[in-house]
Chain A
Amino acid sequence: MSGRYRARIDGRDIEPADGWQVRILDLPHGLISLGGDAGSILAAVEGSGEEWWVTLRGRRLRVELRTWRERVLAEANVAAQGAAGPLEVRATLPGLIVAVQAEPGSDVVEGAPLVTIEAMKMQNEVRAPRAGRVLEVMVAAGATVAAGAILLRLE
């Protein structure tokens, strides 16, 4: 039963559409069709364990699936980690660092340009998600970063 799992998307609990029938078209690639009273829809599913990705109507959604046991463990983990620390600013896309505007120790306002990343020949400025002091800058101009790489820490 899919009721074994609690599903979360964007931090919200989601009730699975249990009335819809799943048909597998290509299992190794996770290609399925979902059929219900409202018609049918194709989807792609990837993942394992607690982390899943489902692409529906061209949109890729991250679905967190937890059994009761996994939920208890995760909650215990969060409690152990305590309050939120400094904010890590990450690269939203892979590319080449062409300029670093942020200076360690300086205060920045929300929206201030921090780092310029060139990807697919376009220059993109990474801006401060909130005001704060720059604690540490992890990258330098000329470096290549992957999507999700930590660029700097804001206090």
Chain B
Amino acid sequence: MTRLIRRLLIANRGEIAVRIARTCREMGIDSVAVYSDADADSLHVAFADRAERIGRPPAAESYLDIGAVLAAAARSGADAIHPGYGFLSENAEFAAAVEAAGLTFVGPPPATIAALGDKLAARRAARAAGVPIVPGLTVPLDGPQGDLDGIGFPLMLKAAAGGGGRGMRRVNTAGELAGALAAARREAVAAFGVSAVYAERLIAPARHVEVQLLGDRRGSLACLGERDCSVQRRNQKLVEETPSPAVTPDIRAALFESARRVAGAVAFWSAATVEFLLDADGRHHFLEMNTRLQVEHGVTELVTGLDLVAWQLRVAMGERLPRGVVDAEPNGHAIEVRLYAEDPWNDFAPVAGRVKAWRMAGGPGVRVDAGVSADTDVRPDYDPLLAKLMVHAGDRAGAIARLRRVLDETVVGGVQTDAGFFRWLVDEPGFAAGDYDTNLIAERWSAPPPSTQEMALAARAASYLRDVGPAASARRPPGGASGQSAWGIAARRGALR
């Protein structure tokens, strides 16, 4: 079956919409961006070949509005839709509606999305396929007095429709269960519209390790290595690397075997990720399978040299995966850090505001996927991911050294980001040794105060700009920068002082 894609609507925003549009351009496919009123001037709109407005700023009235997205596809003449991650990417109803409208959905079949989107059904399917699952319930928890099947405390509550750390609560004692259950249900309803919550044993210490899968419509399946995503806050990932420092060849073989079995239990093609917890003894436990491109797919692209979005599109058009993809051998080590507008010194709380200075790193082995630029507003309506900073080097030590250099070259003004946390992390001895788990932030990040030198430099910078900054821009000669660079101005002001 050949279904040519000539024009692709990207049902997303931010860095992932930009990233998908880039591949479209390379493949000669027209890209169509969609945007809410909040995003009319966004980078992803500027990057695409054309753009369609889909509604008001709240996601429910734009990026989550199936009717609005389909109407935009019809208006623009798109023949396929890529959902990116988040929003409608794991919404089986959406995938089915796209196909019913005669368009190609770039992702696995709708029935597979539905089967794996129900996390309890996915647990049952994995167990039936002989894959070890995290011990716990395979049906929703009735209430605080419900049957916990002897899981014991501490345990984790998770939303049955869940993902992304939402509707998730750690419960340390039986006394905390009622309150945590109510909170988890509230959050689950808000995020997914479904209140069902189940309980799993808390595995700690644990590492979060996932396997990247890529499949075609004829049953070929590639396991493109694992990613270690153990550096997390609020059960959400901040750093991802491949290969995992904790995964030996034996563990890798076992992870790949389990990932293949889970995928084999459903009709699967396109890209997906099977997530596991790896316990201190190196045993893995199935968490869930995400039937979409992951945020962190870029590190896999760096070590394999493959463009996963391009392969998603080719598979959607009916192409088979060639040998070179199925047997792709990863090369070197890649690390990604997620640059969020959030404050590591205030519990990583999200912040809104306007990005002012925006300087991203470059040079050898560096990839930056950004969704914003200077003078962009970060709004509370959406996920505050600004950019993904990725590095690739021959080995892990080289990748860490490169990441340190990248962080030193990266400057974001106007809003606090988590870059300061990453700058601390690259010098953290445990991280450097590859010795860390999902509790790294809770156990080792102490939100240290600024050093005396940092404060002295900040005072120097502010004093200097108060003297020359506004004056220099106000007194810039007519005609702007012609004949006089900012460096020249700075030097002259310095001489005057």
Contact = CB atoms under 8 A, between A and B. Distances in A.
Interface of A: 1-2, 4-5, 7, 9-10, 12, 14-18, 20-32, 34, 38, 41-49, 52-61, 63, 65, 92-95, 98-99, 118-124, 147
Nearest to B355: A29
Nearest to A61: B458
A47 B465 contact: yes
B191 interface: yes
Given A52-B466, A58-B417, A121-B191, A22 B380 contact: no
Contacts of A122: 165-166, 187, 234
A142 to B, nearest CB: 13
Q: Which of B191, B350, B382, B422 has the most chain A CB atoms closer than 10 A to its own CB?
A: B350
B87 to A, nearest CB: 12
A5 B262 CA distance: 65
B445 interface: no
24 contacts: A4-B467, A16-B460, A17-B453, A17-B459, A18-B460, A24-B468, A24-B469, A26-B357, A26-B486, A27-B489, A29-B357, A34-B461, A43-B411, A43-B457, A46-B414, A57-B420, A57-B423, A59-B345, A60-B415, A61-B458, A63-B461, A93-B351, A122-B187, A147-B352
B257 interface: no
B220 interface: no
Q: Which residue among B164, B351, B457, B472 has the maximum number of chain A CB atoms within 10 Å of its CB?
A: B457
Which 7 A-B pairs have CB atoms at the shortest separation, nearest pair first? Answer: A44-B413, A58-B419, A58-B420, A2-B463, A7-B459, A44-B357, A59-B420
A124 B375 CA distance: 28
Given A44-B414, A55-B411, A123-B190, A27 B472 contact: yes
A120 B384 contact: yes
Contacts of A29: 356-358, 374-375, 413
A119 B469 contact: no
B416 A60 contact: yes
Contacts of B234: 122
A63 B408 contact: no
Nearest to B454: A56
Given A1-B497, A27-B473, A58-B423, 7 more contacts: A22-B464, A24-B486, A58-B421, A65-B466, A92-B346, A119-B349, A123-B190
B183 interface: yes
Contacts of B419: 57-59
A147 B410 CA distance: 26
- For B414, B461, B464, which residue has the most chain A Cβ atoms within 10 angstroms? B461
B356 A44 contact: yes
B96 interface: no
Interface of B: 164-166, 183, 186-187, 190-191, 234, 345-346, 349-352, 356-359, 374-375, 380, 382-384, 407-423, 449-450, 453-470, 472-473, 486-487, 489-490, 494, 497
Nearest to B419: A58
A41 B359 contact: no
A70 to B, nearest CB: 11
B463 A31 contact: no
Contacts of A34: 457, 460-461
Q: Which of A38, A46, A55 counts the most chain B CB atoms within 10 A?
A: A55
Nearest to B182: A99
A31 B357 contact: yes
B456 A46 contact: no
A15 B456 contact: yes
Given A44-B357, A46-B413, A121-B166, A20 B457 contact: yes
Contacts of B497: 1
B487 A23 contact: yes
A98 B408 CA distance: 39
A18 B357 CA distance: 23
B490 A59 contact: no
Residue of A4, A27, A95 with highest tally of chain B CB at under 10 A: A27
Contacts of A44: 356-357, 411-414
B460 A93 contact: no
B421 to A, nearest CB: 7
Contact of A32 (B164, B407, B465, B470): B465
Contacts of B414: 44, 46
Contacts of B420: 57-59
Nearest to B491: A23
A24 B416 CA distance: 21
Given A27-B486, A59-B345, A63-B458, A45 B469 contact: yes
Contacts of A5: 463, 466
